Structure 1
Amino acid sequence: MSMATYEVLAASHNTLDVGAAFLGGLLIAGALVWAIHFGMKVRDQESARPLPEEQPHLPVGGAVREVREMREPDEMPVATEEGERLMPYQLHPSGTRTGKDQSRLRWLPGRSGSFGGGGIGHV
């Protein structure tokens, strides 16, 4: 083969590479245009956004605040009065009484309190 033949083959490979890249770019651009068009059609079918008058408003008394209180655990019976074992659906929610002491437990200075830290934590 002559040198001219190699040059033609190399040029044809470059042309094919550029053409394939161009067609791939067109394919990706077309897919993006289709996706945007499809998204706009879906958005048009959705219900309208609520007006400002339809938005929720604060209650007349203002915002509702969180209430923190210490609760006392209830004694959990092991069996019914007839001696039958209690099932989970027979139990009432525990911690239903407000505790007498409403001070929160705090970590003591110099104590770790973390899991595996070696300290006893709070008292």
Structure 2
Amino acid sequence: MAAANLTPTAPLAAPHVTSGALLTLVGVVIVAVLLAAFVWGRRAKTREPAPPRPEEQPRLPEGGPVGDVVENRPPDELPRTERRLSPHELKGEGTHDSSPPR
């Protein structure tokens, strides 16, 4: 068995033919993976339901579009206590309505 030639002047890189073949092989593998991903995506797309037809689209209510509702409510006053209140001791924020029911 021959000893390995590891002198400082020994070439450590692969020959040009080997590196060219390796780059070609890597390129072919990348192209194959991209093609497989494309085919897989097309198959997944065909399994999806079709987009809704125009008659299946949502429609506006008969009364037209619903506008914004603006309500002004007075704030609930907090009681003055010696200690902090926990959340379950507080009333709901703005739960009472100042306007009469419709």
For the superposition of Structure 1 and Structure 2, which TM-score range results when normalised by the shorter chain?
0.5 to 0.7
Q: Secondary structure of 1:72's partner?
A: coil
Q: Secondary structure of 2:15's partner?
A: helix
Q: TM-score, normalised by structure 1?
A: 0.53
- The answer to whether the Cα contact below 8 Å between 1:73 and 1:97 also exists between their aligned partners in 2 is no
- Matching residue's letter, 1:36: F
Partner of 2:44: 42
Distance in 1 (CA, whole Å) between partners of 2:93 and 2:87 is 15
Query: Which of 51, 54, 62 pairs up with 2:53?
Result: 51
Q: Are residues 16 and 98 of structure 1, via their aligned partners in 2, closer, same or farther at CA, if it must alter by over 3 Å?
A: same
Partner of 1:119: none
Q: How many pairs are equivalent?
A: 83
Percent same amino acid among aligned pairs? 35
Gapped runs of 5+ residues in structure 1? 1-8, 79-84, 101-123
How much does 1:74 deviate?
A: 2.4
Distance in 2 (CA, whole Å) between partners of 1:96 and 1:14 is 80
Partner of 1:60: 62
Gapped runs of 5+ residues in structure 2? 1-10
Q: Secondary structure of 2:52's partner?
A: coil
Q: TM-score, normalised by structure 2?
A: 0.61
* Higher RCO structure (Cα 8 Å, ≥6 apart): 2
- The answer to whether the Cα contact below 8 Å between 1:73 and 1:96 also exists between their aligned partners in 2 is no
> Hey, which bits of structure 1, 4+ residues long, moved more than 6 A?
none
Alignment root-mean-square deviation, CA: 3.1
